[in-house]
Structure 1
Amino acid sequence: MRMLINVPDTVVADALRGMAATHPELTVDVEGRVIVRRDAPVAGKVALVSGGGSGHEPLHGGFVGTGMLDAACPGEVFTSPVPDQMVKAAAAVDSGQGVLFVVKNYTGDVLNFDMAMELAEDEGVRVAKVLVDDDVAVTDSTHTAGRRGTGATLFVEKIAGAAAEEGAPLERVEAIARQVNASSRSFGVALSACSTPAKGGPTFALPDGELELGVGIHGEPGRERRPMMTSREIADFSVDAVLEDLRPTNPVLLLVGGAGATPLLELYGFAAEVHRVLAERGVPVLRSLVGNYVTSLDMAGCAVTLCQADEELLRLWDAPVRTPALRWGL
């Protein structure tokens, strides 16, 4: 095992200590596993809280800050956070205007966030929830009933976060978050397996010279395995899979995401192919983002996420944001 760690049991705590040392604009509770923007609660503002298993960084802790999340709850690697974390986060950021939970569609996340909603409401916090389920690769998988939540989580957190920053009420922020999710689709490809610190090796077997089309962000099986394809061929397959389901009538926002171990040189080359396919299919691209945002530890691979955007969603996407992993306009 070649990993930059001390021992597997402390990986998440060690990372949180590093975040605390690096980002003084955040309040990081290492023991309680909650990351909060330091100025929370912000008076008159709806708060956004998200979370999930660690190993997908910068999702979610890297998206805490002005114009995006108010708090994030990191679980153990590839494991849902627990309701106590979510309730603590909600209490820390609630200004009295309510809290929106952004939840990726994985069974553990859904169950624990639903329990946290009940507990938070018992404590007088008004809570709403949006479920992110954008992955078109499969309908049900190892960890889900229905589609998996992947790259669209970034679009939901950014756009709904901008609406909340502007002072929109909870009902409006929730509606925007649901609109973004309904307007988004993703498809991922693995070129190698990922390795968890606890296992110390690959979490699934992917033979040399093969790739997995439609892989999940925990290494869940996708649609099929094929011999290695070119960047052009992968772009054709991935974009067509997304467009077949999304059928956009508006221009799109584009996220070309890395799985964790694929260098930017390759991701930008892949992005060029994605733009080519979209142009050939007559789909205008309003904005593009390329890089590692929703990752799978050390997996090599990529994902395409498209979000249909009207003028309002585009305006909110362009709104200022300042987080460790995403920032512009401030």
Structure 2
Amino acid sequence: MKKLINDPKNVVQESVAGFAAAHADIVTASTDPLFIVRSDAPVQGKVGIVSGGGSGHEPLHGGFVGYGMLGAAVPGPVFTSPTPDPIVAATKAVDGGAGVLHIVKNYTGDVLNFETAADLAAADGIEVRSVVTNDDVAVQDSLYTAGRRGVGGTVLVEKIAGAAAERGDSLDEVAAIAERVNANVRTMGVALTPCVVPHAGEPSFTLGDDEIEIGIGIHGEPGRERITLEPADAIVDRLLGPILSDLPFESGQSVLLFVNGMGGTPLVELYIVYRHAAEVLAQHGITVVRNLVGNYITALEMQGTSISVLKLDDELTELWDAPVQTAALRWGR
């Protein structure tokens, strides 16, 4: 294992400290308990939004803390959910009197710990709503979930819900927007290589030199099938087919196309993926009116990609375009 780390036990704490130092104009970090919060939190009269989960998926979630997106993010150990205590502390830190929305990826530990934290926060008088993301079409169940996994679509939920909160929507309205995005986005991914969790020191799974895993999860969970490496266009076809049939997407639809890297994938390859994905959507009469390309929800150094397609309407497009200022997404300010 070759990684730019010191003690594997301190990876998350040291990374969060570096992140907070690099982006001190946007965020501050609490060390005990560990969470990242907007530097201007709490914003009075505004719905606070908290997300989080295991580390190793950066920039998710800490990179999306700031104006127009998350109020706070709670990083757990690598690929392991944070416990309820820091989630409660983050919830209190963003509570401006209008309630708090939890955005939770559908992994068993995340769901249970955020539920417990919501109950504890409610006991302290904070109104909490929770939205669970489950956009992955690859499998119905995995070792980590009951039902579909929350993956790339989580980024889109956080951005659009964050914009709704920033414009002054109520807690129920922000939660409804988040649910609407989750209901209208579908994702599927592929891994070319495994990743190495720092404290394990060895790959999380094995792939032959000429093998890829279609439908992989962001922790290395098994996908739909393991096949011999194919050209990029053929892989894109394998990913887009289940996405387009699942919702389904129809001719005349406007969409946001999100091509995400899994951490070790260069942009030159992601744009090859985007090129063909946009062509396939056009062949189905689907118009890409917004896009996002890059490494935004990763699995450490895994090579691979995920494709997310979100149905857009006028309101969701307006909220996507709304100003945002975070470490990982910035426009309009």
Determine if the TM-score, normalized by the shorter chain, exceeds 0.5. Answer: yes
Q: CA deviation at 1:244?
A: 1.0
Q: Note the alpha carbon deviations across 1:35-74, whole angstroms, 9 max, x for none.
A: 0001011111000000000000000000000000000000
Give 1:256's aligned residue.
259
Give 1:303's aligned residue.
306
Q: Note the alpha carbon deviations across 1:218-248, whole angstroms, 9 max, x for none.
A: 0000000100011100111111110010212
Give, in whole Å, the separation in 2 of the partners of 1:254 and 1:190: 19
Give, in whole Å, the separation in 1 of the partners of 2:247 and 2:5: 40
Single out whichever of 30-39 and 163-172 deviates more from structure 2: 30-39
Give secondary structure in 1 for the equivalent of 2:81. Answer: coil
Q: CA deviation at 1:262?
A: 0.6
Preserved contact between residue 162 and residue 319 of structure 1 (Cα < 8 Å): yes
Give secondary structure in 2 for the equivalent of 1:35. Answer: strand
Q: CA deviation at 1:9?
A: 0.3
Give 1:2's aligned residue.
2
Give 1:202's aligned residue.
203
Please point out which of 266, 269, 288 is paired with 2:269.
266
The one-letter code matched in structure 1 to 2:293 is V
The one-letter code matched in structure 2 to 1:155 is L
- The 5 A counterparts of 1:140-289 are 140-249=141-250, 250-289=253-292
The one-letter code matched in structure 1 to 2:204 is T
Q: CA deviation at 1:276?
A: 1.1
Give secondary structure in 1 for the equivalent of 2:271. Answer: helix
Q: CA deviation at 1:82?
A: 0.7
Give 2:17's aligned residue.
17
Preserved contact between residue 138 and residue 214 of structure 1 (Cα < 8 Å): yes
Preserved contact between residue 100 and residue 130 of structure 1 (Cα < 8 Å): yes
Give secondary structure in 2 for the equivalent of 1:140. Answer: coil
Give 1:294's aligned residue.
297
Give, in whole Å, the separation in 2 of the partners of 1:246 and 1:238: 14
Preserved contact between residue 13 and residue 31 of structure 1 (Cα < 8 Å): no
Give, in whole Å, the separation in 2 of the partners of 1:138 and 1:168: 34
Give secondary structure in 2 for the equivalent of 1:80. Answer: coil
TM-score calculated relative to the size of structure 1: 0.99
Give secondary structure in 2 for the equivalent of 1:306. Answer: strand
Q: CA deviation at 1:30?
A: 2.6
Give, in whole Å, the separation in 2 of the partners of 1:328 and 1:277: 28
Give, in whole Å, the separation in 2 of the partners of 1:81 and 1:230: 38
Q: Note the alpha carbon deviations across 1:242-273, whole angstroms, 9 max, x for none.
A: 00102124311111000000100111111111
Give 1:83's aligned residue.
84
The one-letter code matched in structure 2 to 1:97 is A
Give secondary structure in 2 for the equivalent of 1:316. Answer: helix
Q: CA deviation at 1:131?
A: 0.5
Single out whichever of 181-190 and 282-291 deviates more from structure 2: 282-291
Question: Aligned residue pairs: how many?
Answer: 330
Alignment root-mean-square deviation, CA: 0.7
Give 1:320's aligned residue.
323
Give secondary structure in 2 for the equivalent of 1:222. Answer: coil
Give, in whole Å, the separation in 2 of the partners of 1:8 and 1:189: 27
Preserved contact between residue 134 and residue 151 of structure 1 (Cα < 8 Å): yes
- The 5 A counterparts of 1:63-142 are 63-142=64-143
Q: CA deviation at 1:31?
A: 3.2
Give secondary structure in 2 for the equivalent of 1:114. Answer: helix
- Please, which runs of 5 or more residues in structure 1 have no aligned partner? none
Give, in whole Å, the separation in 1 of the partners of 2:60 and 2:31: 17
- Please, which runs of 5 or more residues in structure 2 have no aligned partner? none
1:39 and 2:40 matched:
yes
Give, in whole Å, the separation in 2 of the partners of 1:90 and 1:35: 11
Q: Note the alpha carbon deviations across 1:15-44, whole angstroms, 9 max, x for none.
A: 011012101121111332110001011111
Give, in whole Å, the separation in 2 of the partners of 1:196 and 1:96: 39
Give, in whole Å, the separation in 2 of the partners of 1:83 and 1:313: 31
- State the identity as a percent: 56
The one-letter code matched in structure 2 to 1:274 is A
